[in-house]
Structure 1
């Protein structure tokens, strides 16, 4: 611009600056929209600016302060003109004497400009009424913006509901305009008539601002609406009814998606706003580990707060139906529940519908798995083999596979071992059962202590880190034998693999290794006792060695058999009996999986596997038993002195083990550990040893003298 700026140019500068500010803000808002805006075919608001319900800012000039004047209009006629212009502004029309301007597309702060030539009395009424126009502009903009496809169905429904309220508002303004044309309307009457509409428009405007500012959509929008409804006071009955109406109307598309999910197991979410999402990474055909937990996931930020208490029921209802759908050949075999209406109500009556759908789908899946896949029989079979409840299988396994399992892990032929294990399973009393074909052999190149620590960390998070790291239990994996690394594995088809997932199988395998190694040591001690009986008739120096060795062998066998009896009969069997009773009341697969996991936890804890320090002492005693059983009368144990040294070590380890058991029994409400102590200390056999050892605190705590 050439030349000097004159006072007459100042209004023009103000006008251009205001227009530039609005255009920059619109550009920023357009760039910050969601990527879903690309669904829109055209930006019709910029191409057809006069089609909007809101104020149109398409003028070439934009005057912040109206330049038109009423100085020459008599005061008696001025009120009629002001009312006429005010009614225009109420519906987003342009006025020569009034301007309503916001910074941004939707803003909490509005700038209201009124011509200073208006009479002061009329000026006061106008300033009190103009916020109605600001609220109208906020609502109109929200209604038009929510029509975009990218806003989602909930915001579209909310915009539609507000549009209906605007239609009633426009009819009300039209009635005022008719009255004003008859010159029967004064400014104070306008202020009186708009009071009810003023509060309604303020409510809708506040909702529009909050939804826009927080960029809410889907369940988040419904949470905001529900919060508004809960915060409203009872006296404003009309506002409560309006808020309840727009909340119920906005929830219709969302509740339709919920209904599709809980009754059909289908996700209908065309605009990515539903609380449940299907993870494409976990393909249904693969059924990879974690499918049950990760295939369908909750998006907590999209869960409406009125569904917060039942969100997991909603999630599991559809998950159960999808599992059945993937197993049956046609939809007719699914036995779907009859579809019920699911409207939003402030009293949350829809809870009953959701719970009925959940119970039906969960019960259907549980019955399907129990009947079609004999799930309980498979769990029983797993108990037989993993927990060594099939006695003849243990004997066959030790007899058939001894030659291979006695080798170093690197020297074992896996295919030969698998064949031998299969022969042991088939030659048992359960050879006719089809479930036994699912068991295969495998070798774990990791000592039991390391596996236990790993499982405690991954599967039993209640264990503290200090407990996990406190044990010194460790064996070199390079020198592991087949007996120390052998375990069974179970292959399961879908959906049985939901119950026998990798976590469950890992715990079963840990228990199997623990129990099977005890059976192996017992077999060694039995062989040593047989060899010792053959020298019973010997006289001379060998007679003393025989007597000493037989006594130690009997004590070791007594200790091991009592430990096996405790783990089998006092730990596993009571837990199994409790499990079978609880399973009868299970109503869903999740309940069954939880009961099954509780059964495993009890077995693991009662078999001393959760206490790594105690397990380390027990494995130390087993090592002494192994050294004696595999060496006596074969290798280097050929005199009484070596047997005495081994016996001394056995006594020391046993006393430490019994002492720790007693301390732990003080926190054991079941009394199982104390029973184990008295079983090992039968007839107070170790009382003298305990007294000679540094176990005074032990004797005081047990009060053995009273027994």
Structure 2
């Protein structure tokens, strides 16, 4: 019987001899109650061992079969991932001491068959706290349905333990799970992404799923994916994001974003057929450090942070050198200013003039081709031909057939595309270009309105139409406001902020600092152009708690009014009828109200450029004094 008990200690199947012994009433006649209790306690330990082995077996013996099934399945089961298999492998390693102890126990029994149940219980009872702890770990993983990097966080949360043997066991399990984490980390830093179960804290987001941020589990991407075209590089590159639900809490978010940036940089640089070595030959040295971490007694976050910082410094310095020298970063930024921010005023004057005949047409693909042709012709007329091919207009992919340019504005339906020069894709992701398009639409609308007012002035002068002096005076007020607003945008904001950005870029060789300077430039320009949304504290219960900037709201009302007045001024009778005078009075009253609101808002904002705008618009308090007289 004693030998059967010893064999049961490492058997995954229940012994019939012991089962009958525990169930037969006659057993009490020749087994002492104390021995029976010891036997029951031993069987409880054996039961825990079997449960643990059952868990291990489900993820080790059949792991290859599970993996093959998941590869064939369109949506692999995350619960069959690599991390939980390494978790099971780690537990199996922890059980090795128990197996050795049972082997030694059998040897003792064979040497001395009179070994008692009490002695056996004493030998295996010391493993009971370990088994109970392992059972809690396994049940926690099962009940919480943890997978991937979530298991690392779960193990760290359970790492504080007073029992030294349990502490050592947990460290062994952590090392096992960290092996797959380090493998995925090194793959990503080397420009490869393999994560069919969605376990890593870097995820690949499908375009259709991007609003919900759902990872695509069956994703395997390498540098070859991005060698098709410049547009595909910039599209695919930004489908990688940090999945903060998978990031263990002890890793800072800033660290994860650095890892994301390095991987994106390697992918982007590797997309070009060049002999660029992003790590300057130090990749083996860097990656060896991660593998050394795995062999340490205690894995510490500080080691991961230091190594990633070293890698990032190497990558950003190398990338900065390529961007400045090979891609001519300064020239590319000037092109952004010249085209998206209307820095080439003469070009857009000719462009707007060429577009004037088609503003009332319906939006079609043919119209977009005409607009691009007008853009090319305008560039040729002002001798801007070398770089204009990098930019072209496309129609937004929305249902716009029922709208016309007159009702919505031409550039509300168009987007200006920029052919990004390698390797500046990290500097101009789709979100950044969207913001530049937002600026472009705002700036060109003001430039178009300014052009229309000047054309109206020419029309009145050349035709020598005897309009009412009120019409001419009102037109001059509108021209004064638009001209000063245009000067504020182009000089006080764009030229000033661009100069600040270029000074910062010239002072650094770190590409991260260059990115930060560019981000600050765009954010400052958006803010000073009133294009940043404000959070609405009164709409917290609503799904969308953002609202349009109040200054922009007033400016849009003023711009709409000017467009309506311009159309009216061409058709007004000469001399004006009473109805025309009433219409003009309404325009004047609304304009005064809008300007009064605008000046009050600007006076409440603390910014040097905005103070300049306020000074120009209300020079000698002309608007303020007039509004006070009217009230």
State the TM-score, normalizing by the size of structure 2: 0.74
Deviates more, 1:205-214 or 1:134-143: 205-214
User: Which residue of 1 is the match for residue 598 of structure 2?
Assistant: 661
Contact 1:219 1:273 (8 Å CA) reproduced: yes
Aligned Cα RMSD in Å? 4.4
Name the CA distance, whole Å, in 2 between partners of 1:280 and 1:550. Answer: 57
Name the CA distance, whole Å, in 2 between partners of 1:168 and 1:607. Answer: 63
**1:354 has 2:308 as partner:** yes
Contact 2:360 2:406 (8 Å CA) reproduced: no
User: Which residue of 2 is the match for residue 131 of structure 1?
Assistant: 44
User: Which residue of 2 is the match for residue 516 of structure 1?
Assistant: 447
State the number of aligned residues: 559
Residues 287-298 of structure 1: matches in 2 within 5 Å? 287=231, 291-292=235-236, 295-298=239-242
Residues 675-690 of structure 1: matches in 2 within 5 Å? 675-690=612-627
- Paired residue for 1:237, among 146, 164, 176? 164
Contact 1:662 1:673 (8 Å CA) reproduced: no
User: Which residue of 2 is the match for residue 619 of structure 1?
Assistant: 559
How big is each residue's C-alpha offset from its partner over 1:629-684, in whole Å with a ceiling of 9 and x where there is no partner? Answer: 646xxx62335978865663443123212221134235422265565444333323
User: Which residue of 2 is the match for residue 558 of structure 1?
Assistant: 480
Residues 26-105 of structure 1: matches in 2 within 5 Å? 83-92=2-11, 95=15, 98-99=18-19
User: Which residue of 2 is the match for residue 171 of structure 1?
Assistant: 100
**1:605 has 2:530 as partner:** yes
Name the CA distance, whole Å, in 2 between partners of 1:385 and 1:356. Answer: 37
State the secondary structure of the residue aligned to 1:657. helix
User: Which residue of 1 is the match for residue 124 of structure 2?
Assistant: 194
Q: 1:557 to 1:154 in 2, by over 3 A?
A: closer
User: Which residue of 1 is the match for residue 268 of structure 2?
Assistant: 323
Deviation at 1:272, TM superposition (A): 6.6
- Paired residue for 2:339, among 365, 369, 385? 385
How big is each residue's C-alpha offset from its partner over 1:195-221, in whole Å with a ceiling of 9 and x where there is no partner? Answer: 433323333343344445555444333
Q: 1:210 to 1:425 in 2, by over 3 A?
A: same
User: Which residue of 1 is the match for residue 178 of structure 2?
Assistant: 251
**1:314 has 2:259 as partner:** yes
User: Which residue of 2 is the match for residue 463 of structure 1?
Assistant: none
Contact 2:155 2:174 (8 Å CA) reproduced: yes
Contact 1:486 1:513 (8 Å CA) reproduced: no
How big is each residue's C-alpha offset from its partner over 1:551-596, in whole Å with a ceiling of 9 and x where there is no partner? Answer: 4444333232222222223333344344435556663486466445
How big is each residue's C-alpha offset from its partner over 1:160-191, in whole Å with a ceiling of 9 and x where there is no partner? Answer: 44333333222222333333442564444444
User: Which residue of 1 is the match for residue 153 of structure 2?
Assistant: 223
Q: 1:363 to 1:641 in 2, by over 3 A?
A: farther
Contact 2:94 2:173 (8 Å CA) reproduced: no
State the secondary structure of the residue aligned to 1:685. helix
How big is each residue's C-alpha offset from its partner over 1:89-112, in whole Å with a ceiling of 9 and x where there is no partner? Answer: 322276455349xxxxxxxxxx99
State the secondary structure of the residue aligned to 2:306. helix
Q: 1:125 to 1:567 in 2, by over 3 A?
A: same
Contact 1:443 1:485 (8 Å CA) reproduced: no
How big is each residue's C-alpha offset from its partner over 1:313-338, in whole Å with a ceiling of 9 and x where there is no partner? Answer: 32332122111111233565774642
Q: 1:127 to 1:571 in 2, by over 3 A?
A: same
- Paired residue for 2:511, among 562, 571, 587? 587
Deviation at 1:265, TM superposition (A): 1.1
Larger CA Rg, structure 1 vs 2: 1
User: Which residue of 1 is the match for residue 32 of structure 2?
Assistant: 119
Name the CA distance, whole Å, in 2 between partners of 1:152 and 1:547. Answer: 80
Q: 1:378 to 1:594 in 2, by over 3 A?
A: same
State the secondary structure of the residue aligned to 1:490. strand
State the secondary structure of the residue aligned to 1:327. coil
Contact 1:406 1:483 (8 Å CA) reproduced: yes
Deviates more, 1:642-651 or 1:335-344: 642-651
Contact 2:59 2:85 (8 Å CA) reproduced: yes
Contact 1:409 1:480 (8 Å CA) reproduced: no
State the secondary structure of the residue aligned to 2:283. coil
Name the CA distance, whole Å, in 2 between partners of 1:509 and 1:190. Answer: 82
Contact 1:276 1:315 (8 Å CA) reproduced: yes
State the secondary structure of the residue aligned to 2:126. helix
The unaligned stretches of length 5 or more in structure 2 are: 67-79, 209-224, 534-547
